[in-house]
Each structure stands twice: as structure tokens, then as C-alpha cells.
Amino acid sequence: MKKTTTVLLALVLSACGQQAEESETAAVEPVAAEPEVSIYEAALASESRPDADRERDAGRKPAEVLEFLGVAPGMTVLDMFSGGGYYTEILSHTVGPEGQVIAHSNEAYLKFVGDEFEKRYLGGRLGNAQVLMAENNELSLEANSLDGVMLVLSFHDFYLAAADGWPAIEIQPLLAELHSGLRAGGFVGVIDHYAADGALPSETGGSTHRIDPAVVIREMTAAGFVLDGQSDILRNPDDDYEKIVFDPDLRGKTDRFVMRFVKAE
């Protein structure tokens, strides 16, 4: 009987010890860490961004786009035909104080965006952004000076016919200048509105403001760039390619392609 009692007591003590050990282990378990915020989400969260920009974020998904393209702190990036500077501002926060953004524009784009451009850069509010004014085919870049180039919703404009304030673009010379300005391994990010397969860019570029992505690949390849990836981030199967992209029901919701080209090392 005494032996049985001793065994039972040992089992109880062992169980109590195990429970105490488990309780102690549970007590010291680390609290789950807060999810890490990416540099792209941090750029979007900057308090200095205008509210009007934030309202565009859902449709443009800039954090996903810049992550796909590989924009990183310290880079020098050219925002070609930067318009009102929506992407220039996000790039500015992403590349940080050690990086630089060159915001290119011309007279036609300035007229299109109104006072948005001036407000964007008033008082040097983007300290690492430099404005570069150059008309079509008058762009002159320092060779091997850029880590990246952004062409956002502007490749179709390469095919616009010459008009008041818009000189016709000689596409290959312009792309050659971008190629020269990029360092080896540098990227060109192209985002634009889908046109139907086989659509002529000379027709859609100035009418619906769309372009067949095959045309972009053909032109960029001819200029010496290599297609490094494509993303479906901005796809919208409900888009109507026959409609102009400025249609109130479509604006900000078009079917768009995102491509990353690189300058071969």
C-alpha cells in the first residue's frame, strides 16, 4: 500500500511539475510582432501627400507597381512625362534622401494638368525631386546616370500626330536617349491602357488613348531593351477597349498592363 501511495504521489508531483513548466513556457511566449510595413506602403502613408493623391491609390495600386519594378532607396529615377507628379511624389518618398527623382514634363502636359504641377513642387516641398522641362525629342540625359525610368500612361502618346503644342515624336531616337541614360541593369517601367490585339497605335493613340502591348514590346526590343517581366496588377476584364480612357465610367478603372524592361548588362 505504501509503495502504491509513493508511486501515485510521484505521478502527481510529476504532472504538477509538467503543468508548471508548461505554464511558465506559456507565460514567456513572445507577443506577435506588428506586421512589417514595406517601403512602398510607408511612402504612401507619408503625411505630406495630398488627399487628392490618396484618392487615386486604390485604382493605381502604386505600392504593388513600384515593388514589382524594384524601385529602391538611393536610386535615381526619371519620371518621364510626369504629368501632375502623382508618381513623382511617391518615388520621392521611396528613393529617400539618398536618391533622386527627375520629373520630366513639356508644355502640352503642363496645360493638361493645370495648376497641379506647380502645387506639387511649390517651395521645394519635394527636396529630392528635380523638374526637367524638355520638348519631344529634345531630351538630353547624362549617360549611365539613371537606375530607372517610369513611363506611366504615356507610351500611347508617342503616336500622337503633331498638333498645336505637341511635336510629333521620333520614337526610336527618344528610346535611344533613355537607353543611353540608364545604367546597365537599369529598368524602364511601362504602364498603359490596353487596346485590342493588332490595333494600330497611330489610330488608338490619339483617339481612345490606348495601345496594344505588343507594340510596346516591339519598340522597346528594337531599342535594345529586354522584357524582364509583366504583371496583372492593374487588369480589368470589364473594360471596353472601344471607349476613350477619359470616359467618366472608366477613368481610373481601365484595363492596364505593367511591364518591366531592363538595359542588358
Q: What is the CATH number of the domain that holds 112?
A: 3.40.50.150
Give the model's pLDDT for residue 8.
34
In a domain, 12, yes or no: no
The predicted pLDDT at position 45 comes to 96
Residue 211 falls within a domain, yes or no? yes
Report the share of the chain in percent with pLDDT over 90: 73
34 lies in some domain: no
Average pLDDT, the chain: 88
Q: Rounded distance, CA 124 to CA 177, Å?
A: 28
- Distance CA(14)–CA(94), nearest Å, equals 57
Closest by alpha carbon to 222, among 265, 146, 164, 171?
171
Domain span at 187: 39-263
Counted domains in the chain: 1
In this structure, are residues 237 and 191 in contact, taking their beta carbons and an 8 Å threshold? no
Please give the order of strands across the beta sheet that includes 182-193. Answer: 129-133, 100-105, 76-80, 146-152, 182-193, 256-263, 225-231
Look at residue 2 in the predicted model and tell me its pLDDT: 41
Longest dimension (CA), the chain: 109
pLDDT tens digits for range 219-258: 999 999 999 999 999 999 999 999 999 999 999 999 999 9
Within-domain flag for 136: yes
- Whether pLDDT at 29 is above 90: no
Assess if residue 21 is contained within a domain.
no
- Four-residue CA torsion sign, 225, 231, 234, 236: positive
Q: pTM for the full model?
A: 0.85
List pLDDT tens digits, range 117-162.
888 988 888 999 999 999 989 999 999 999 999 999 999 999 998 8
Interior angle at CA 226, CA 232 and CA 216, nearest 5 = 60
Q: Is residue 146 part of a domain?
A: yes
77 is a domain residue: yes
Helix or strand holding residue 146 (H, E)? strand 146-152
- Report yes or no on 24 lying in a domain: no
Q: Which 8-state DSSP code applies to residue 226?
A: E
Tell me the pLDDT tens digit for each residue of 103-116: 999 888 888 888 88
